[in-house]
Amino acid sequence: MANSPAPSADHLGQKLYEGKAKIIYATDNPEVLITYFKDDATAFNAQKRGQILNKGVINCKITAYLYALLEKQGIATHLLETTSEREQRIKRVQIVPLEVVVRNLAAGSLCKQTGIALGTKLEPSLVEFYYKNDDLGDPLLTRDRIFAMGLTSPERLTELTQKAEAINHILSQFFTRCGITLVDFKLEFGTDSAGTLLLADEISPDTCRLWDTSQPDERQRVMDKDRFRQDLGNVAAGYQAVLERIAAQLENPA
């Protein structure tokens, strides 16, 4: 399959990092980086690999919409500006090596590890922390493990939890208006040069579970990366439908 179109190299500096779904470039401002969204998709710690046509473009747009929505409601993010179909200027941050997962309904690894039935409502929602470390397979952590490993302070962990809960509140309400159920999602945070905690990375169908609320069929309702993980087909169409619903809701708020 073809690779994502090349980044528009004219304004890009040195490649600093290439991850599974994005590339980070330097700019001539040390406080500013460029993130480039690829079409590459991986799952199960990169044991499954593929491409989702136009995913980079769709996820770049969805992240731009959702980060603007969050900024409006007081959540500081790393995003400065979307500069092309696949590129965003972002503030350089030091990433906190934790994946913060919020779960409203049971799915994925929670069901596998606990036996809780798929779709069970979780009240209150769960906020979980996973160690961002591919070699270890991003293991689930406890508070005590986080402090024993020196990954962050108790104050920062409280701040991360509160921000994740606030983001969940805003996004759950917004997706409800889009006719989409926000089942769960993953966030990453970083600190800028002043030590301020900013929402970083992306929020997209790669990093959320999103179910079409009015679709009762368990396979057909899936609009996110589970279509790729579980070989459900029509992966790009699911992503595109999420983008269209978000755009329509923002243009014509119900």
Residues that bind ligand TMP (CB under 6 A): 101, 107-110, 138, 184-186, 207-209
Closer CB to ligand ASP, 43 or 166, in the complex: 43
CA angle, 169 then 213 then 226, to 5°: 85
68 makes contact, choosing from ligand TMP, ligand ASP, none, with CB < 5 to 8 Å by partner type, with none
Residue 86 · residue 61 · CB < 8 Å: no
Residues 1-30 that bind ligand ASP (CB under 6 A): 20
186 makes contact, choosing from ligand ASP, ligand TMP, none, with CB < 5 to 8 Å by partner type, with ligand TMP
Q: Tokens 């799915």 belong to which residue?
A: 107
Closer CB to ligand ASP, 89 or 229, in the complex: 229
185 makes contact, choosing from ligand ASP, ligand TMP, none, with CB < 5 to 8 Å by partner type, with ligand TMP
20 makes contact, choosing from ligand ASP, ligand TMP, none, with CB < 5 to 8 Å by partner type, with ligand ASP
Number of amino acids touching ligand ASP (CB under 6 A): 8
> Would you state the structure tokens that stand for residue 32, as one six-digit string?
């500013």
> Would you state the structure tokens that stand for residue 16, as one six-digit string?
């600093």
Closest residue by beta carbon to ligand TMP: 108
Does position 230 bind ligand ASP by CB under 6 A?
no
Q: Which of 42, 77, 168, 240 binds ligand ASP (CB under 6 A)?
A: 42
Closest residue by beta carbon to ligand ASP: 42
Least separation in angstroms between residue 21's CB and ligand TMP is: 9
Burial class (CB within 10 angstroms; exposed 0-12, middle 13-18, buried 19+) of 161? middle
Site string for ligand ASP, 43-82 (x = CB under 6 A): xxxx------------------------------------
Least separation in angstroms between residue 110's CB and ligand TMP is: 6
> Would you state the structure tokens that stand for residue 21, as one six-digit string?
């779904």
Least separation in angstroms between residue 186's CB and ligand ASP is: 8
The residue ranges that bind ligand ASP (CB under 6 A) are 20, 42-46, 225, 229
